[in-house]
Amino acid sequence: MTIKQVGLPAFKVSPGTIHLSREIANKSPQQVLRERARDDSQGIFGFLKTTNKTWTVTFNEDDPSSRFKIVHEQELASGAATDKRDWTVVDPRCTRGEGPIPVQCRSASCGTCWIGVLGGAEKLSPVATREARKIKEFGYISTDEPQPIIRLACQAQGLGAVSIVLPPWNGVFGKFVYGQQQQSGEAEQLPRK
C-alpha cells in the first residue's frame, strides 16, 4: 500500500531508519499496548463527569511534547488545532495555526488528514457513512470495520485517549487523488464534438 501511495522513486529515497529512544526500545510490546490503552485520569470523581472530559492524543510516542488534548467527542483535527505551535517548521504539510495534523477541507473531501491509529481505535467514534466511503475512495483502506486503524482526523471523534501516527505522505496522496478527481470532473464537463 505504501509503494502504491507514494510511488517507487519516493519509497527508494526514504532513509528507512527507525529512531527510538532507549526507554521506548526497552519496553515489551505488551507494555507499549498497555500504555496506549491508558485513559487520562478525570479526577477522583471523574465517573460523575458527564461533560468536559478531556483526553490525550499522542502522535509521536518518542516525544513527550507530541501530544494534544481533545474534549470528549471532539474531532481529532479540531483538537489538534488548539496546539498553536508553528508546526509548519516541523512539517511543511501543516497549515499555520491548525496544529500538527495536515488538514485542508475538514469535510472528508480531500483525504489530507488521514491518520493511522496505533492504539485506542475502540476509543474513536464509529466510522460514519461518508468517512467510510471516502477512505475507500482515496485508497487508504477497504474495510467494513466500525472502528478501523485508518481514519480521517476531521471525522474521527475522540471518546478516550488514543495514540496515532501521522504518515509522512498523508497530504501528498490525498492531494493527488483530489487532483485526479478534479481533472476527471473537468474532462466530463467539456463539450464533445
C-beta separation of 115 from 172 below 8 A: no
> Which pLDDT score is estimated for 84?
92
**pLDDT at residue 11, rounded to an integer:** 66
Report pLDDT for 73. Answer: 94
Return the H-helix or E-strand segment holding 58: strand 54-58
The amino acid occupying position 99 is G
- Contact 152/187 with Cβ under 8 angstroms? no
In order along its 193 residues, the chain shows pLDDT tens digits of 456 656 677 667 766 677 777 887 888 878 877 777 777 776 666 666 666 788 999 998 888 889 999 999 999 999 999 999 999 998 888 999 999 999 988 999 888 899 999 989 999 999 999 999 998 888 788 888 999 999 999 999 999 999 999 988 765 665 666 677 777 765 554 444 4
Q: What's the whole-model pTM score?
A: 0.76
Identify the pLDDT of residue 42: 63
CATH number for the segment(s) 53-185: 3.10.20.30
DSSP labels, 146-159: SS-SEEETTTPBBS
The domain ranges of the chain are 53-185
Q: What pLDDT does 175 receive?
A: 61
- What pLDDT, on a 0 to 100 scale, did the predictor assign at position 136? 87
DSSP designation for 19: -
- Asked if 179 and 140 count as a contact pair (C-beta separation under 8 A), the reply is no
CA angle 95–53–27, rounded 5-degree value: 75
Strands 150-152 vs 114-119: parallel, antiparallel or unpaired: antiparallel
pLDDT at 80: 96
d(CA 74, CA 22): 34
Q: How far apart are CA 111 and CA 102, in angstroms?
A: 10
Partnered with residue 162 across adjacent β-strands are 57
